[in-house]
């Protein structure tokens, strides 16, 4: 990690975790140089990056000010990762993810049912098979689940949807890391993913849309159960 990247990470995490609240000025450039043991150029470059992410703005006399959360680029992968690392923020973000998934994924599935090529359909079934194969290996199971959704987005042939996926995947990974603790829900969801693939293979947009809605309803319930299990210190998760 370069010095600039180190400053971006440290200051970004300060902001997202609330060490420096919206409207508050960050430490001065001189203070940051001393505290982080880097040069002025590293601090200046880092501030430019953080400003591009919507986290701060620079004012000539006031210094570097933390922006309101409404201006943060929450689709930026680093901002998402820093936010998800904070338990106080993560629960709200994952709840909001459920809303966003309901808006986006059923329509992505419907688009895929009209646009997917035969190889793309086969790759969706392949991802379902991988989910089944790795059901007792948490990391591989999560990777297989994300792969299914990535292939679904690709099969939509909608470039804007496809461009969203890398940020979307950060949220999905955090979601799945929690919900996989409710193992029976994950196993059930494998079949629901297959139903989506089957509807796409039938060129049935409405069926694909319904199947995705059903999957998301189950996923929301599983996430809630998993979070409850984790809060109780228990759980019947897959092998970690």
3-state secondary structure 11-61: HHHHHHHCCCCCCCECCCHHHHHHHHCCCHHHHHHHHHHHHHCCCEEEECC
**CATH assignment at residue 47:** 1.10.10.10
Q: What is the pLDDT of residues 167-206, one digit of tens each?
A: 888 888 887 877 766 555 566 788 999 999 999 999 999 9
pLDDT reading at 157 higher than 70: yes
pLDDT confidence of residue 1? 86
Note whether 200 and 105 are same-domain residues.
Answer: yes
Q: What is the pLDDT of residues 48-60, one digit of tens each?
A: 999 999 999 999 8
Note whether 97 and 195 are same-domain residues.
Answer: yes
Give yes or no for a contact between 155 and 121, defined as CB atoms under 8 angstroms apart.
yes
Note whether 117 and 179 are same-domain residues.
Answer: yes
**Start-to-end Cα distance in the chain:** 28
Domain boundary among 45, 71, 97: 71
- pLDDT: is 229 or 163 the higher one? 163
* Mean pLDDT for the stretch of residues 144-171: 93
Structural domain for 8, as ranges: 3-71
pTM here is: 0.77
Q: What is the pLDDT of residues 2-44, one digit of tens each?
A: 999 999 999 999 999 999 999 999 999 999 999 999 999 999 9
């Amino acid at each position: 990690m370069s010095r600039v990247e180190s400053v971006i990470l440290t200051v970004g995490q300060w902001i997202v975790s609330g060490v420096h609240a919206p409207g508050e000025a960050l430490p001065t450039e001189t203070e940051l140089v001393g505290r982080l043991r880097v040069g002025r150029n590293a601090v200046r470059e880092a501030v430019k990056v953080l400003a591009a992410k919507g986290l701060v703005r620079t004012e000539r006399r006031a210094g570097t000010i933390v922006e309101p959360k409404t201006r943060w680029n929450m689709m930026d992968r680093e901002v998402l990762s820093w936010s998800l690392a904070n338990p106080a923020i993560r629960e709200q973000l994952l709840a909001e993810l459920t809303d966003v998934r309901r808006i986006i994924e059923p329509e992505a599935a419907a688009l895929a049912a009209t646009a997917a090529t035969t190889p793309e359909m086969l790759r969706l079934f392949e991802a379902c098979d991988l989910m089944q194969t790795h059901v007792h290996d948490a990391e591989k199971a999560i990777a297989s689940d994300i792969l299914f959704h990535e292939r679904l987005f690709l099969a939509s042939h909608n470039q804007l949807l496809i461009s969203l996926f890398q940020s979307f995947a950060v949220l999905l990974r955090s979601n799945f890391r929690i919900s996989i603790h409710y193992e029976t829900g994950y196993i059930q969801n494998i079949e629901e993913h297959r139903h989506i693939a089957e509807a796409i293979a039938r060129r049935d947009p409405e069926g694909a849309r319904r199947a995705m809605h059903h999957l998301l309803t189950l996923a929301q319930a599983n996430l809630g159960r998993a979070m409850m299990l984790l809060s109780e210190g228990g759980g019947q998760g897959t092998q970690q």
